[in-house]
Amino acid sequence: MKIALIGYGEVGRILAEDLRPQGHVVTAFDLKLAGASAGALQAHAQGIGAVLAASHAEAVQGAELVISAVTASQAVPVAVACAPHMPRGAFFLDFNSASPGAKIEAAGLVNAAGGRYVEGAVMTSMPPYRIKVPLLLGGPDAQALMPIVNALGFASRVASEKLGVASATKMCRSVMIKGLEAMVIESFTTARHYGVEDAVIASLVETFPSIDWEKQGAYFFQRVIEHGRRRSEEVREVAQTVREAGLQPWSASGTAERQAWVADLGDAGIFGARGEPGFARSADWRVEADRLLANAKTRNNT
């Protein structure tokens, strides 16, 4: 198949790595190709035999399947940019963590141009599973796409023929998962300040004995430091999903702010140089918590 990947971040690169050995033609486009990380992206693509396009239009030209895997805020703009240039009848698989309303808007754009829009909801962190990550599909064309993508190696199933159901499932899950990440960072860092982290973790172990809180804490810190910007955008879409249900998204909004705060500090370099091998790789969450506390103390003294 000829497959276009829109977005060549962590998800896009994993998909390219898993699709290219099967002999599929993979073309990708990413807005970062105009930035400082362009060289690294080009080297990666060249190493696996993927082709980096100069624009959305070039990437989707002749593609049988377009996979959009960008930040949540770009879900609809990508549909706008790609839809007029896709071959009629081509599938557009929207991997993005966007609200049901955004997915329905993107579907309208793709379908009006002759494409076949299918929403996709990635239901857990992708790196451990890679292309076999649990994936919910939704929309009128989901049933037609499922055997095609599963033959490529995906582990997908149809959630509903109604658009928005798959993304609502993902968004409601993220209220909990992304919220738990933010709560762990806030709780553990504050506990570290007061010297009560061991007591707090012991209490959590007693209440939730199936969770290794030391290991889980390190993992949460690592993922938020590394991907907090993308996560904060996703959780803003989560907040919009809550609003679309008629509720005030107090929890989701706070989570988005905490994730963005960590991302800002990562960009400022308090965890080291972003992109370097040791960045966000500490096996001990206390190392990162101490950096957060040192930064807070410095800011309070200036």
Segment 72-120, tens digit of pLDDT: 889 999 999 999 999 999 999 999 989 999 999 999 999 999 999 999 9
202-212 pLDDT per residue, tens: 999 999 999 99
Q: Which of 189, 261, 265, 211 is CA-nearest to residue 231?
A: 261
At residue 302, does pLDDT exceed 60? Answer: no
Query: Using CA atoms, how far apart are residues 69 and 122, in angstroms rounded to an integer?
Result: 10
Pick the last residue of a domain from 129, 161, 193: 161
Please check whether residues 35 and 9 belong to one and the same domain.
yes
Amino acid at 104: I
| Cβ neighbours for 251, distance < 8 A, ≥ 6 positions apart | 175, 179
Question: What proportion of the chain, given as a percentage, has pLDDT over 70?
Answer: 98
According to DSSP, the residues that pair with 92 across neighbouring strands are 66, 117
| Pair 146, 180 in one domain | no
Rounded-to-integer distance, Cα 178 and Cα 187, Å: 14
Average pLDDT value for residue range 126-139: 94
Query: For 56, what's the count of Cα atoms within 13 Å in the CB-facing half-sphere?
Result: 21
Residues 284 and 153 reside in one and the same domain: no
Which residues does residue 27 pair with via DSSP β-bridges, in sequence order? 4, 51
Domain with residue 109: its CATH number is 3.40.50.720
Q: How many domains does the chain have?
A: 2
Supply the range of the domain harboring residue 237: 167-300
Of 17, 65, 68, whose CA–CA distance to 44 is shortest? 17
What's the pLDDT score for residue 30? Answer: 93
Candidates 252, 221, 258; CA nearest to 213 is 221
pTM reported for the whole predicted model: 0.84
pLDDT band with cut points at 50, 70 and 90 for residue 199? very high
Mean pLDDT on 258-286 = 85
Which two three-digit tokens encode residue 44? 């990666």
21 and 71 within one domain: yes
Whether residues 57 and 183 share a domain: the answer is: no
Pair 178, 238 in one domain? yes
pLDDT in tens, 52-74: 999 999 999 999 999 999 988 89
The more confident residue out of 31 and 190 is 190
Q: pLDDT confidence of 297, banded at 50, 70, 90?
A: confident
